[in-house]
Chains A and B, each alone.
Chain A
């Protein structure tokens, strides 16, 4: 028997302490509307990515030759006047192919991750918010997907989806986007679910419910805006991964189809003449490297700015 008599020993006259302080409004308030600035690195990354994007979009207006035009005199030659980055094995302008290649590479990177964000995000948001049966099915399914080696999965998907004869270049591009997109669904879905779970537990969600908000409203207006920074941070990393993955697929002949240039198939094509004309592979790789670096760096900046904890990866 636990009894501690001295705890409740002397009963004094009840004297309720009445704090009667007046509503003093001297509370300290930080000034509103002050924002952290982006660093130089972040600006450089943004300039690089957006600059390449603009160049890719407006490529026909730039003073560069067509990416498929062959100049026999510059085949396997390094930078010369008029062809700043030289020519590739068959004499096509490397600079032009890099800029036009950005179209396919960006399309693959952002397209695949966009697909993953929409599908995976929707699954993750619903699983994390409603939990219950939907979560019990969706989450194990995503885990099973994650257990399959990602690259093998993407390769098989692309091979199966593009197996018919006479697949056109743009169709092949769609297939690559879809294949890599499907692979990214469980990854982005899990991140979204983990973040949704923690945010849904917050009191403001209950407060919104206690003010009469419906589930859909709570999910999209209260929870989703809080989850988006985490999703954006991972998505930026994923774009870089998808661009590199396309290069991997290209090595197996499953990437974007030639003659449409992509950084992946340029590297794959140039690797046969690496000894005699290394500049093609080097220049393309540098561009690829800088792009992925910029994306990763921006992902980090987003994560730091919004203090997203890497809850689950």
Chain B
């Protein structure tokens, strides 16, 4: 069995073993800043099985990128972290930099968001791949080159032989992201973090890149943490989805379950924020009002309460814990009045009525104002 075979996906690299691949429990990350301590990640726990995909979804500043960097140990020195990370049964949260270096590349790797900056502009793309092959897998020059070309082919780069000698600026964004993926896959990691891998790309290229990631993941039996702000991206590709808000997981469930019966109003708001093809033109885009909370001084109650249409007194006072849903113990959410409960339904009906009135002609609006409480 030549190593080239292993690498280009002919053989699965993350072969099934005992126990989950990654166990994250009560992980928190803080950054001391002049303004105060930023609580970027708060008490996050999850388990990832081999070969599975976890989608981590949230707005900018929800801590999703910091979470993946915390697990990988790629934080700046100023960061303070706590909690446990167990990778293949081995605790890795207190490794030193040499310990992490033994994991990086070969055990876990990361695909970065922006292919424009994730490649070294003055190094040929081929060499960016062979670097780690030669360093980690002790390949000689020609072997590394062969493997790199095979990898470039695996990520569907046409004329891989010729592209090997190209510089990043000679490639398009989608191509570059393919190269970034090839670099990350080079040493056959068991766990791949994809940090918004398609955000910087065209919509048409997005789907290609996501399909490529899914295909490579399947071939290699590799687990993946797919970080994104777009529920649509993870919808068909993640086995499980964790929705993050203000550094916490606020809802977590198997993908199908989550889309069928989402409980957290924030998840619902995220989904509504995706424009739908069937909508008539000039439909107002549904934005989530307000801004993400200040992570230096988060609100007292539920962090989403200031922006939540269904929030009640209790939401502003008390923070709901992540609890399993009554129907499905694997479906966790942190909400007192989840979507579908009588309290939220009542508000939803009222909001819809108000919407209808607002869009009605003026005479109807006046009539409605004269009879408040009349059902719209």
- Residues in A1-60 with C-beta less than 8 Å from chain B: 1-12, 14-25, 27-33
Contact residues in B for A210 (Cβ distance below 8 Å): 72, 74, 104-105, 109-110
Chain B interface residue count: which class?
Answer: 35 or more
6 A-B pairs with least C-beta separation: A4-B289, A16-B235, A19-B207, A212-B104, A212-B105, A9-B351
Bits for A190-219, please: 1 = Cβ < 8 Å to B, else 0: 000000000000111011111111100100
- Tell me which of B74, B211, B265 contacts A22 (CB under 8 A): B211
Interface centre among A8, A28, A206 (most CB of B within 10 A): A8
Chain A interface residue count: which class?
Answer: 35 or more
Cα distance, A221 to B122, chains bound together (Å): 10
Task: Kindly count the residue-residue contacts between A and B in the assembled complex, taking CB atoms under 8 Å apart.
Answer: 183
Please give the residue numbers on chain A whose beta carbons come within 8 Å of chain B beta carbons, in ascending order. 1-12, 14-25, 27-33, 202-204, 206-214, 217, 221-222, 225-226
Cα distance, A70 to B66, chains bound together (Å): 77
Cα distance, A32 to B172, chains bound together (Å): 11
Tell whether, in the assembled complex, residue B122 and residue A203 are in contact, meaning their CB atoms are under 8 Å apart. Answer: no
Contact residues in A for B360 (Cβ distance below 8 Å): none
**Chain A proximity of B20: nearest CB distance (Å):** 22
**Chain A proximity of B8: nearest CB distance (Å):** 17
Tell whether, in the assembled complex, residue B351 and residue A212 are in contact, meaning their CB atoms are under 8 Å apart. Answer: no
A and B contact pairs by CB, cutoff 8 A, 5 listed: A8-B272, A28-B172, A31-B170, A210-B109, A212-B136
Cα distance, A214 to B211, chains bound together (Å): 32
Additional A-B contacts beyond A29-B175, A207-B180 (18; CB < 8 A): A3-B289, A4-B307, A6-B355, A8-B286, A8-B309, A11-B271, A14-B271, A18-B236, A29-B170, A31-B170, A32-B162, A32-B166, A208-B120, A211-B104, A211-B131, A212-B101, A212-B136, A213-B132
Tell whether, in the assembled complex, residue B260 and residue A11 are in contact, meaning their CB atoms are under 8 Å apart. Answer: no
- Assuming A32-B162, A226-B122, is B132 touching A7 (CB within 8 A)? no
**Chain A proximity of B178: nearest CB distance (Å):** 9
- Assuming A27-B174, A27-B175, A203-B117, is B235 touching A17 (CB within 8 A)? yes
| CB closest chain-A residue, reference B180 | A207
- Tell me which of B121, B236, B307 contacts A16 (CB under 8 A): B236
- Tell me which of A3, A22, A31 contacts B311 (CB under 8 A): A3
Tell whether, in the assembled complex, residue B162 and residue A8 are in contact, meaning their CB atoms are under 8 Å apart. Answer: no
Contact residues in B for A1 (Cβ distance below 8 Å): 306
**Chain A proximity of B262: nearest CB distance (Å):** 7
B323: CB under 8 A from chain A? no
Cα distance, A202 to B122, chains bound together (Å): 13
Cα distance, A10 to B351, chains bound together (Å): 8
| CB closest chain-B residue, reference A6 | B355
- Tell me which of B117, B163, B171, B203 contacts A204 (CB under 8 A): B117
Cα distance, A22 to B102, chains bound together (Å): 36
**Chain B proximity of A38: nearest CB distance (Å):** 19
Tell whether, in the assembled complex, residue B268 and residue A11 are in contact, meaning their CB atoms are under 8 Å apart. Answer: yes
Cα distance, A157 to B346, chains bound together (Å): 85
Cα distance, A29 to B162, chains bound together (Å): 12
Tell whether, in the assembled complex, residue B104 and residue A7 are in contact, meaning their CB atoms are under 8 Å apart. Answer: no
Contact residues in B for A222 (Cβ distance below 8 Å): 120, 123
Tell whether, in the assembled complex, residue A206 and residue B288 are in contact, meaning their CB atoms are under 8 Å apart. Answer: no
Tell whether, in the assembled complex, residue B311 and residue A29 are in contact, meaning their CB atoms are under 8 Å apart. Answer: no
Cα distance, A204 to B131, chains bound together (Å): 13
**Chain A proximity of B188: nearest CB distance (Å):** 12
Cα distance, A19 to B355, chains bound together (Å): 31
**Chain A proximity of B130: nearest CB distance (Å):** 11
B156: CB under 8 A from chain A? yes
Tell whether, in the assembled complex, residue A25 and residue B105 are in contact, meaning their CB atoms are under 8 Å apart. Answer: no
Cα distance, A225 to B101, chains bound together (Å): 23
Interface centre among A11, A211, A221 (most CB of B within 10 A): A211
Cα distance, A285 to B276, chains bound together (Å): 74
- Assuming A23-B212, A206-B112, A207-B118, is B135 touching A2 (CB within 8 A)? no
Cα distance, A217 to B187, chains bound together (Å): 18
Contact residues in B for A9 (Cβ distance below 8 Å): 286, 309, 348, 351-352, 354-355
Contact residues in A for B288 (Cβ distance below 8 Å): 7-8
- Assuming A3-B309, A226-B122, is B231 touching A21 (CB within 8 A)? no
- Residues in B199-246 with C-beta less than 8 Å from chain A: 203-208, 210-212, 231-232, 235-236
| CB closest chain-B residue, reference A1 | B306
Tell whether, in the assembled complex, residue A12 and residue B117 are in contact, meaning their CB atoms are under 8 Å apart. Answer: no
**Chain B proximity of A134: nearest CB distance (Å):** 14
Contact residues in B for A207 (Cβ distance below 8 Å): 110, 112, 118-119, 180, 183
